[in-house]
Amino acid sequence: MTTVLSEKGQITLPESMGEQLHLVAGEDFEISVEDEDTISLRRVSQPANRGLVDLLLACPAQFQIAVRETDDPKPLQL
């Protein structure tokens, strides 16, 4: 399979690969350069407090969740 690097430096995984690996939007991945021609992409396991985050998101009161250290620094507004 092949894919194309966008002008923004993004790569889209083929839909069939996402289905095969049961990927979900918002999952975290670790990316590293192995050598001059090899990039490694590894799914990072769910954080231990994931259930707590889901519980807090279900809370009827409004609150803000602090920004995580990711490539997309947009805070989650509820």
Asked whether residue 10 is domain-assigned, the answer is: no
Whether 45 is in a domain gets the answer: yes
Note if the pTM is more than 0.85. no
Please state, in angstroms and rounded to a whole number, the distance separating the CA atoms of residues 29 and 44.
Answer: 5
Q: What is the pLDDT along the chain (78 residues), one digit of tens a residue?
A: 889 999 999 999 999 998 998 888 888 899 999 999 999 999 887 666 767 877 877 878 776 777 777 666 565 555
The three-state secondary structure class of 43 is: strand
- Boundaries of domain holding 50: 15-77
Q: How many distinct structural domains can be found in the chain?
A: 1
Is residue 49 included in any domain, yes or no?
A: yes
Q: What is the pLDDT of residues 53-69, one digit of tens each?
A: 778 778 787 767 777 77
Whether 5 maps to a domain, the answer reads no
Domain annotation covers residue 4: no
